[in-house]
Amino acid sequence: MARILIVDDSPSQLMGIRRIVEKLGHDALTAEDGAAGVDAAKREIPDLILMDVVMPNLNGFQATRSITREATTKHIPVILVTTKDQDTDRMWGLRQGAKAYITKPFSESELSELIAQYLSGGTSAA
């Protein structure tokens, strides 16, 4: 069972993603914005992070960059889960250190496959 940090400012998105994570048998940790997500990542050292992009205080791109460049958290795979669906957004997110990028709305099976892939050490950028 893995520990997965979900970072999203939308309570309904947090609840929906949490349901998927727990249905897969994993523990779900949550944070409501990028700054809280960075703090939680440093404190909890989860196995995987699912990060929204459009959030107050620190957006998901900034939070991902911070997490992937910090010595204690750089090994944690970050999957961006966002409504931003432009190729430039995807490219920028991957340049910040994200391992994968999935756009909302997504299917439960799409997210489940990405979670399984990156918990098993996957490397391809979706």
- Answer yes or no: is 120 within a domain: no
- Answer yes or no: is 124 within a domain: no
- Answer yes or no: is 46 within a domain: yes
Overall number of domains in the chain:
1
Cα gap 25→86, rounded to integer Å: 32
Q: What is the mean pLDDT of the chain?
A: 95
Task: Enter the DSSP assignment of 121.
Answer: T
CATH number of the domain residue 67 falls in: 3.40.50.2300
pLDDT value of residue 42? 98
**Is the previous residue joined to 105 through a cis bond, with omega within 30 degrees of 0?**
yes
The domain in which residue 71 lies consists of 3-102
How is the chain split among helix, strand and coil, in percent rounded to 5? 45, 20, 40
- Answer yes or no: is 32 within a domain: yes
- Answer yes or no: is 115 within a domain: no
Once rounded to an integer, what is the mean pLDDT over residues 28-53?
Answer: 98
- Answer yes or no: is 122 within a domain: no
- Answer yes or no: is 126 within a domain: no
- Answer yes or no: is 51 within a domain: yes
Residue 126 has pLDDT above 60, yes or no: no
What pTM was estimated for this model as a whole? 0.95
Q: pLDDT band for position 121 (50/70/90)? A: confident
pLDDT digit string (tens) for 41-88?
Answer: 999 999 999 999 999 989 999 999 999 999 999 999 999 999 999 999
